[in-house]
Amino acid sequence: MLRMKSAIILSVVSVATLLACSKTGPEVDTAQTTSTLAEVKYSAKVPARGTKPATQKAMKGGAGGTTPAVASQKLSEASTDRQVRKPAKADVADCKTLPDNAAECEGGNLYFCDDSKLWVVDCDAEAKLGGATAGACFEGEKFIDCLGKTTADDASEVWCDFQASVCCDKDGSCYSPKG
């Protein structure tokens, strides 16, 4: 009798565990994209700012709104096609009515619209996966993106995008490492 009760309990627990681990429930967003996703790699060494002028100021973690809106900064298409992006909660922003590539920082996360869907990137996880030591979402006067923390060729600490088109120092002064 004891063995039969144990077997029944084990069967019930197994079925409950199987159901709890199922990824087919309504809480999982199965958003698809028509974009080709790019693997993100950060440069190991970037040129130091040196005499390059600051092109803008940026704020780590973002400034202003935390969800994409009509007036939000826009990401480049290459920046939206990230390998580590994940579908975000659809009730946060309606990307069917917002401009494609509208984006906002929320702390360490980058939220953006692409292909009429809302996506999120954990900037720290992406940067570490791509070879940087840390990552954060930065919002500047003319850009918004995940930046990875790396060391410039003069041994200073800088935060750069994975395309190495913008880098910012610890004070948020940004420059173009390419020119």
Of 107, 68, 106, 111, give the one whose Cα is nearest residue 86: 111
Please report the pLDDT score of residue 81 as a whole number.
74
Enter the pTM of the model: 0.74
pLDDT recorded at residue 57:
95
Q: φ and ψ at 6, to 5 degrees?
A: -65, -40
By CB atoms closer than 10 A (0-12, 13-18, 19+), residue 69 is middle
Bridge-partner residues for 93, per DSSP?
none
Q: Which portions of the chain are predicted below pLDDT 70?
A: 1-38, 44, 90-91, 179
Question: Residue 145: beta bridge partners?
Answer: 138
Per-residue model confidence (pLDDT) at position 104: 94
Which amino acid, one-letter code, is at 33? T
pLDDT at 82: 78
Q: How far is CA 61 from the centre of its chain?
A: 12
Domain residue spans of the chain: 39-175
- pLDDT tens for each residue of 136-162: 999 998 899 999 999 888 898 999 998
Q: What is the largest CA-CA distance in the chain?
A: 83
Give the CA distances from residue 13 to residues 7, 8, 10, 113, in Å, rounded to whole numbers and listed in that order. 10, 9, 5, 41
